[in-house]
């Protein structure tokens, strides 16, 4: 478990998107977030142009840490798949 209260589970590339799945502390639900990798890459947290894929990835983890740390993740728009996976719209 990360110090931010979530554990990354899987990172997949689906077309032009990166799909991250993770679990929250004390919650067995799998959460999934989809991020576009179409150029130009914009930071998920700041919305600013990213100079590299590494900077973009850092922004993704910053957003997740903020959403989990402030509990905003619990009020995010979501879709629950038949499998029980919760797809978040962050």
Whole-model pTM? 0.75
Q: Report yes or no on 71 lying in a domain.
A: yes
Domain span including residue 31: 6-89
Whole-number mean pLDDT of the chain? 86
Paired with 8 in beta bridges are 22
Count: domains in the chain: 1
Q: What is the pLDDT of residue 2?
A: 54
Contacts by residues 72-77 (CB-CB < 8 Å, ≥ 24 positions apart): 73/24, 73/31
State residue 28 phi and psi, 5-degree precision. Answer: -85, -5
Instruction: Give per-residue pLDDT as tens, 33-58.
Output: 988 888 888 998 889 999 988 888 88
31 C-beta neighbours (distance < 10 Å), count? 23
Is 1 contained in some domain? Answer: no
């Amino acid at each position: 478990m990360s110090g931010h209260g979530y554990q990354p589970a899987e990172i997949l590339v689906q077309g032009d998107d990166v799909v991250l799945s993770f679990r929250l502390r004390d919650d067995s639900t799998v959460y999934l977030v989809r991020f576009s990798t179409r150029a130009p890459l914009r930071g998920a947290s700041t919305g600013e142009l990213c100079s590299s894929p590494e900077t973009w990835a850092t922004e993704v983890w910053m957003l997740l840490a903020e959403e989990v740390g402030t509990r905003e993740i619990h009020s995010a728009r979501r879709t629950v798949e038949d499998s029980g996976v919760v797809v978040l719209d962050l």
